[in-house]
Amino acid sequence: MGSCVSLSTSGISDKLSKSVRLTLSNTCFLRKNTLSYRRSVNHRKMSTMKITLNSNSLDLSIVIAALNEGENLRVLLPLLHDLLNSLGISWEILVVDGNSSDGTDKIVSETNNAYCISEPKNGYGLALLRGFSEARGEYIITMDADLSHPAMFLPSLWDSRNNSEIVIASRYVPGGKADQPYIRYTLSRILNSFFSVGLSISVAKDMSSGYRLYKKSIFRDMDFSFTNFVILIEILLKSYEKGMRVSEVPFHYQPRGSGSSKARIINFGKDYLRLFYKIWKIRNSIQFPDYDWRAYDSRIWLQRYWQRTRHKIIMRYAKDYSSICDVGCGSSRILADLPQAIGVDMRIDKLVFMRRVSDRLVRADGMRLPFKDNQFECVLCSQVIEHIPEENGKLIDELNRILKPDGILIIGTPDYDRWEWNAIEWVYGKVAPGAYADEHVTHYSFKSLSSALKERGHTIIEYDYVGRGELIIKSRKSYSTCLNKNHEYDTKNEQ
């Protein structure tokens, strides 16, 4: 049985280092209702915010953003109080108030374990972030104060907490329903479909729903750019980028109670488009955890051909072996189609993404693999060796170490003796500067790679090319070479 990694979720570091950075600081005590900000001097970029999380001392925090919703809160809070007590958990209700003039703070104080937190800066997104930073629960549920999110649905969210890191109460999955005016309903469906298709995100049909359950730890080290309702999609996309799981449960969205809507559809749509442009660039970069997975079905013919041809060759070479290690597995479909394989990668976000198809995952450096000598029948390493500076055969030695005598090594890398590859890489470097082409620092060819393998006692069985440029070699480790090495080792020990 393969080793499994306990996956933490540190996420991908934000490379927009020149952006203005705001920090939401939670240095105060929980109820002092202060929030400090720090700005950098570069005001040309979109500001970003980061929150500091409280430690977990409760099971659940309910975060409700409110502005003059006193009458609705007078109905909602007692319902939540009784409902949360019936769940048998420790909880708190945090009402983040945007300077209401209707006595919201007094109404909140009438409910035990409910606290009113004053957030002087405007914006639904800022209210949520303030609530996240103050929350003491391991989990957070966000909901509206206007009674459009029924309190009785809350147990369904809570019961789904182990299914994913984010659970969305969805209007648009089977069983869901929305009692909205036709125009608003149509605009909502269009926006959700636009983002889903444009960003190739299929995990959520209702990306703009604010009735959600979060595992609080996902917000650690996450930056935010939007202070209004658009933050709902930003949170979802950045969590997806980190490899977080997202699920939906159907619910009935009901008309508002008292009060008036705070959403402004035109401004809302403009900010959605601004977010789309920013996230689209990140979503389609090579750094996104599911880049290789999506490339298999890419709309770009050449990218789709390359991924599928590589997949076909490697599957032909590896499918008959029962003990396989895929070093540098990334988010390739290969691991999904080799269920007997252990996937190894250095990037935690790629491993988190691959949890959906395999639980045989190990986070490790390919140059220092955490496996015994002669452990695997087949070792696979595709598109890794060219990224290692001054490799000088060290990776091949490590792959060879964990490979059993008479085992199969499958290794893929660009062939720099082929003009086809050099032409492809030149064009790729022009079209996509900063992509993989700039990371290829070790250059092998068929001649040099096969020579390196033969020096280590391998026999080349067969080889093939993707697009006449990417080389994939299948070789067999000599049993006699292993015997000779063991003999040398025993002789040294005797001496």
Highest mean pLDDT among 243-252, 253-262, 263-272: 243-252
Q: Report whether pLDDT(10) > 60.
A: no
**Quick one: average pLDDT of 442-465?**
96
Shared domain for 420 and 481, answered yes or no, is yes
Domain boundary among 283, 299, 327: 283
Shared domain for 95 and 174, answered yes or no, is yes
pLDDT for position 266 = 60
Shared domain for 195 and 300, answered yes or no, is no
Shared domain for 266 and 304, answered yes or no, is no
Please count the structural domains in the chain: 2
168-187 pLDDT, tens digit each: 999 998 998 888 777 778 87
Q: Report whether pLDDT(129) > 80.
A: yes
271-288 pLDDT, tens digit each: 777 777 777 777 777 778
With CA atoms as reference, report the closest residue to 9 among 291, 204, 218, 165: 218
Q: Report whether pLDDT(1) > 80.
A: no
Give CA 29 to chain center in angstroms.
32
CA distance linking residue 392 with residue 481, whole number of Å: 20
Shared domain for 187 and 309, answered yes or no, is no
Shared domain for 303 and 279, answered yes or no, is no
Domain boundary among 283, 304, 331: 283
Give me the sign of the Cα torsion angle 426, 430, 431, 432: positive
**Quick one: average pLDDT of 477-481?**
76
Burial 323-339 (b: 16+ CB within 10 A, else e): ebbbbbbbbbbbbbebe
Give CA 457 to chain center in angstroms.
41
DSSP structure class, residue 136: -
Print the domain residue range for 375: 291-494
**192 falls within a domain:** yes
**27 falls within a domain:** yes
CB 153 within 8 A of CB 167: no
Q: Collect all residues with Cβ–Cβ distance below 8 Å to 320 and sequence separation of at least 6.
A: none
CA distance linking residue 473 with residue 396, whole number of Å: 13
The model's confidence at residue 107, banded by pLDDT at 50, 70 and 90, is very high
**474 falls within a domain:** yes
0.75 exceeded by pTM: no
pLDDT for position 13 = 31
Whichever domain contains 444, its CATH number is: 3.40.50.150
**421 falls within a domain:** yes
Shared domain for 205 and 325, answered yes or no, is no
**3 falls within a domain:** no
CA distance linking residue 249 with residue 157, whole number of Å: 8
Distances (CA, A) of 94 to 149, 218, 331: 16, 19, 39
Residue the block writes with tokens 């490899």: 243
Q: Report whether pLDDT(480) > 70.
A: no
Give CA 68 to chain center in angstroms.
36
**Quick one: average pLDDT of 307-316?**
97
What's the whole-number average pLDDT of the chain?
A: 83
Which of 7-11, 152-156, 489-493 is the least confident region?
Answer: 7-11
The model's confidence at residue 151, banded by pLDDT at 50, 70 and 90, is very high
**115 falls within a domain:** yes
Whichever domain contains 55, its CATH number is: 3.90.550.10
Q: Report whether pLDDT(53) > 90.
A: yes
**Quick one: average pLDDT of 68-81?**
94
Task: Please tell me whether residue 56 adopts helix, strand or coil conformation.
Answer: coil
Distances (CA, A) of 184 to 112, 264, 269: 36, 11, 12
Q: Collect all residues with Cβ–Cβ distance below 8 Å to 18 and sequence separation of at least 6.
A: 42, 45
Domain boundary among 283, 306, 321: 283
The model's confidence at residue 474, banded by pLDDT at 50, 70 and 90, is very high
**12 falls within a domain:** no
Residue 159 token pair: 């019961």
pLDDT for position 435 = 60
Say which residue, 114 or 192, is predicted with more confidence.
114
CA distance linking residue 290 with residue 282, whole number of Å: 12
CB 452 within 8 A of CB 396: yes
Percent of the chain predicted with pLDDT > 90: 55
**8 falls within a domain:** no
Shared domain for 182 and 121, answered yes or no, is yes
The model's confidence at residue 192, banded by pLDDT at 50, 70 and 90, is confident
Say which residue, 59 or 9, is predicted with more confidence.
59
Shared domain for 235 and 383, answered yes or no, is no
With CA atoms as reference, report the closest residue to 360 among 7, 104, 44: 7
The model's confidence at residue 265, banded by pLDDT at 50, 70 and 90, is low
The model's confidence at residue 328, banded by pLDDT at 50, 70 and 90, is very high
Shared domain for 302 and 273, answered yes or no, is no
Say which residue, 290 or 388, is predicted with more confidence.
388
Residue 258 token pair: 């008292």
- Classify residue 27 as exposed, middle or buried by CB count within 10 Å of its CB (0-12, 13-18, 19+): exposed
Number of Cβ atoms within 10 Å of the Cβ of 155: 13
Kind of pairing between the strands at 458-466 and 470-477: antiparallel
Shared domain for 267 and 311, answered yes or no, is no
The model's confidence at residue 7, banded by pLDDT at 50, 70 and 90, is very low
With CA atoms as reference, report the closest residue to 127 among 203, 192, 33, 265: 33
- Classify residue 388 as exposed, middle or buried by CB count within 10 Å of its CB (0-12, 13-18, 19+): middle
Shared domain for 57 and 142, answered yes or no, is yes
Which of 14-28, 62-76, 115-129, 337-351 is the least confident region?
Answer: 14-28
Task: Please tell me whether residue 480 adopts helix, strand or coil conformation.
Answer: helix
pLDDT for position 3 = 33
